[in-house]
Amino acid sequence: MTGRYLLRRLLDAVLTLFGVALVIFLVLRVIPGDEITARFGIEGGALTDAQIESLRSYYGLDQPLPVQFFSWLGSVLSGNFGVSVTSGNAVSELILSALPVTIELAILASIIGTALGVVLGVFSAARPNSVADTAAQGFGLLGLGIPNFVLAAAVVAVLSAQFGYFPSAAGYAPFFEAPLVNLQQQLYPALVLGIGLAAATMRTTRSAYLEEASRDYVRSAKGKGLAPRRVRWRHIMHNASIPIVTISGIQFGYLLGGTVIVEQIFALPGLGRLVLTGIEQREYAVVQSVIVVIAAMFVLVNLAVDLLYARIDPRVNLS
Amino acid sequence: MSQPIETIEGPAVAAAPLRRGQWLGRLWHNRNGRVGLLIMGLLALLALASALGLTPYSPIAQHPEDQLVGPSSTYWLGTDQFGRDIASRVCAGLLASLRVAVISVAIATILGAAGGIIAGYFGGWTDRIIGRLTDVLFAFPAILLALAIVAALGRGWFNTAIAIAVVYLPIFVRVARGPVLSVRSMDYIRAGKVLGYSPPRLIARHVLPNVAAPIIVQVALALSWAILTESGLSFLGLGTQPPEPSLGLMVSDARTLFDRAWWLLVFPSLAIVLAVTGLNLLGDGLRDVLDPTRSQSRGRRRRRR
């Protein structure tokens, strides 16, 4: 892995993130009304022109768009995301408290999804067209076909109807304060997300495994009498792991945004919920900051996956 | 909706051009393709019945004397808390979902494929600018970009369709661009240039038919993702607005009534799952038929050799 390659990829990522910030800034400026109408609502109509003018200059809304953009970008880069009008908290504080919730959920869901997906995939590919294979493929199809909000709604409905239980009923417990309660609260949403991931991972694992299983080195390994389990995991899976790592990485990136609805349904105070409340309360400072933060993580995760690629597969040429 | 969007990058070598109608027959002989066609045919019929007013009741007609009635011969799939017929509402919801999906994917396909073909055909600066734009759009987790756009444009089904189109646009750009790169240097294109054909004619008559296969596969997958996203956004109250029936909204409303009326949750969910699965199967089938180098069942075929 050459330093020059790393530098170029980092530069690329920075350029992309600049574009991301610009897109978000422009998209949110399309919204009819501005933060003043958003803040004062109907009462805004009672303001005199002079009052509106002074508010506009207070919020910097009378500046030309490019000036507004760069001053926003500058403050974001220095860690100042603005203030949430409704709660009065700094947006950076809101993000810092929501970030661990989402990251924990994404990690748990990835672990569940990857473990389940790889095991099912190997299980299914080891005996192609058997009953087990058909069942596993059925799981893969269903897992991709059931939207996670449907699964989440069903899980919540059944839990509360049958057991009168809602995971976050008593408020969210941070991991470092009450780890066991926290894991209980994260378990169901992580399972819901994990099943969708497992389906995709299972399909990738299955086709990667079958692809490798037909190669000559596998025949040789079997021919020299290695135990099937050893051939399966040490030989085939070692070589089939590249597409699996790729899809796991891509999925982790998607999870950062994909947790939105599931967080909402399970009342987890993560980034997704922050965005949704922001949209509902027309808090554009919150919405644009959270989206930029998530996009930044997404770009970094994708970069990490690409670099990891080269560690696993020496054939990948980075230049 | 965390399911990553399944994409295929255009194959390095463009598949053989398709004769009209030939691939539909082949699709029918593919197991996935046939099941997908059957499911989608059934759902399209149900949606059509709703569009023509052939459902037993109006999807928004309230029957106060029949609130929360279970499935019966009068109300096949039961009624909701306002006494509205669930069967009619599911059909109308399917119509709403399919409408958003078809409009958004049509926009994304036409604009995205045009962008990809132009980028691939002309190369150079055009390619670089289009590439940079798609990179930026790819840097957003899909659902989040859709959310931001709906937040900006306002709620409603048409804005949802636009949001979905914007999210899927860069994918079509990439899918179309890849095969154009390999077709561009083919002899028949060079011959066309020598004969003095204009670039639009060359692209429409000679490039497009040779790069259509991956785009068609991607359309099926895009439709499936569009239905997922439309119902998800409606679930959040950002998509189709009440009283217009929508599957996502029905699932959302059914949650609190689940202990008294399971059918409210089960049937709309089933409709979403069937639609998404049907389109996924159709996509798998099309991939098997149109693009054998990337088929899911490739491994199986190899083992049989």
Q: Give the pLDDT confidence score for residue B296 in this predicted structure.
A: 46
Residues 6+ apart with CB under 8 A from A303: A9, A10, A13
Contact A69, A238 (CB under 8 A): no
**What are the structural domain ranges in chain B?**
12-299
Which of A150, A197, A258 faces B141 most closely, judged by CB atoms?
A258
How many CB atoms sit inside 10 A of residue A101's CB? 24
- Average pLDDT score over residue span B36-42: 94
Percent helix, strand, coil in chain A, to 5, is 80, 0, 20
Among B129, B144, B257, B282, pick the best mutation site for testing chain A contact (most A Cβ within 10 A): B144
Distance from CA of A40 to the nearest CA of B (A): 18
Q: SS3 for B79?
A: strand
Does A160 sit within 8 Å of B258, measured CB to CB? yes
* Residues on chain A touching B223 (C-beta within 8 angstroms): none
- Average pLDDT score over residue span B185-201: 87
Asked whether the predicted pLDDT for residue B288 surpasses 90, the reply is: no
Write out pLDDT tens, residues A69-80.
Answer: 888 788 888 877
Residue owning tokens 């899927």: B168
User: Nearest residue of A to residue B137 by CA position?
Assistant: A20
Amino acid present at A287: V
User: Nearest residue of B to residue A254 by CA position?
Assistant: B141
Does A154 sit within 8 Å of B269, measured CB to CB? yes
Which of A27, A214, A262 faces B152 most closely, judged by CB atoms?
A27
Does A279 sit within 8 Å of B151, measured CB to CB? yes
CB contact A158 to B (< 8 Å): yes
> How many Å apart are CA B62 and CA A40, to the nearest integer?
38
Which of B135, B147, B235 faces A279 most closely, judged by CB atoms?
B147
CB contact A122 to B (< 8 Å): no
Write out pLDDT tens, residues B112-126.
Answer: 999 999 998 888 899
Contact A203, A121 (CB under 8 A): yes
Asked whether the predicted pLDDT for residue B10 surpasses 60, the reply is: no
- Can you give the length of chain A in residues? 319
**How much is the mean pLDDT over chain B?**
83
Asked whether the predicted pLDDT for residue B303 surpasses 50, the reply is: no
Half-sphere exposure of A168 (CA within 13 A, CB side): 21
Asked whether the predicted pLDDT for residue B295 surpasses 70, the reply is: no
Percent of chain B, pLDDT > 90? 32
> How many Å apart are CA A82 and CA A76, to the nearest integer?
8
Q: Give the pLDDT confidence score for residue A31 in this predicted structure.
A: 60
Q: Give the pLDDT confidence score for residue A75 in this predicted structure.
A: 81
Does A144 sit within 8 Å of B276, measured CB to CB? yes
> How many Å apart are CA A102 and CA A261, to the nearest integer?
12
**What are the structural domain ranges in chain A?**
2-77, 91-312
Please list the residues that pair with B79 across neighbouring strands: B85
B303 vs A271: which has the higher pLDDT = A271
CB contact A167 to B (< 8 Å): no
> How many Å apart are CA A50 and CA B225, to the nearest integer?
49
> How many Å apart are CA B131 and CA B113, to the nearest integer?
13
Q: Give the pLDDT confidence score for residue B72 in this predicted structure.
A: 81
> How many Å apart are CA A306 and CA A2, to the nearest integer?
13
CB contact A198 to B (< 8 Å): no
* Residues on chain B touching A23 (C-beta within 8 angstroms): 136-137, 140
Does A276 sit within 8 Å of B299, measured CB to CB? no
Of the ranges B46-50, B74-78, B196-200, the best mean pLDDT one:
B46-50
Q: Please report which confidence band the pLDDT of residue B299 belongs to, taking 50, 70 and 90 as the band edges.
A: very low
Distance from CA of A82 to the nearest CA of B (A): 18
Q: Please report which confidence band the pLDDT of residue B300 belongs to, taking 50, 70 and 90 as the band edges.
A: very low
> How many Å apart are CA A101 and CA A185, to the nearest integer?
11
> How many Å apart are CA A271 and CA A287, to the nearest integer?
10
Which of A145, A193, A250 faces B277 most closely, judged by CB atoms?
A145
Following DSSP, what letter does each residue of B234-294 receive, concatenated?
HHTTSSSPTTS--HHHHHHHHGGGTTT-HHHHHHHHHHHHHHHHHHHHHHHHHHHHH-GGG
Chain-centroid distance of CA B220 in Å reads: 5
Element (H, E) at A215: none
User: Nearest residue of B to residue A197 by CA position?
Assistant: B3
- Average pLDDT score over residue span B207-212: 84
Asked whether the predicted pLDDT for residue B302 surpasses 50, the reply is: no
Q: Please report which confidence band the pLDDT of residue B298 belongs to, taking 50, 70 and 90 as the band edges.
A: very low
Asked whether the predicted pLDDT for residue B18 surpasses 60, the reply is: no
CB contact A147 to B (< 8 Å): yes
Interior angle at CA A255, CA A251 and CA A256, nearest 5: 125
Which of B142, B228, B258 faces A157 most closely, judged by CB atoms?
B258
> How many Å apart are CA B272 and CA B263, to the nearest integer?
14
- Can you give the length of chain B in residues? 305
Q: Say if residue B243 is preceded by a cis peptide, omega within 30 of 0.
A: yes
Mean pLDDT in consecutive groups of 10 residues from the start of chain A, 319 residues:
77 86 79 58 64 72 79 81 76 89 92 93 88 89 90 89 76 77 87 92 90 87 88 85 80 80 90 87 80 86 78 62
Q: SS3 for B14?
A: coil
Q: Give the pLDDT confidence score for residue B95 in this predicted structure.
A: 94
Amino acid present at A206: R
> How many Å apart are CA B244 and CA B227, to the nearest integer?
16
Which of A27, A255, A299 faces B139 most closely, judged by CB atoms?
A299
Residue A317 carries which DSSP code?
-
Domain A91-312 is found in CATH 1.10.3720.10: yes
Which of A19, A250, A279 faces B4 most closely, judged by CB atoms?
A250
Distance from CA of B215 to the nearest CA of A (A): 21
CATH fold of B12-299: MetI-like fold (1.10.3720)
Distance from CA of B195 to the nearest CA of A (A): 39
Does A141 sit within 8 Å of B281, measured CB to CB? yes
Tokens of B149: 């756009």
Contact B163, B145 (CB under 8 A): yes
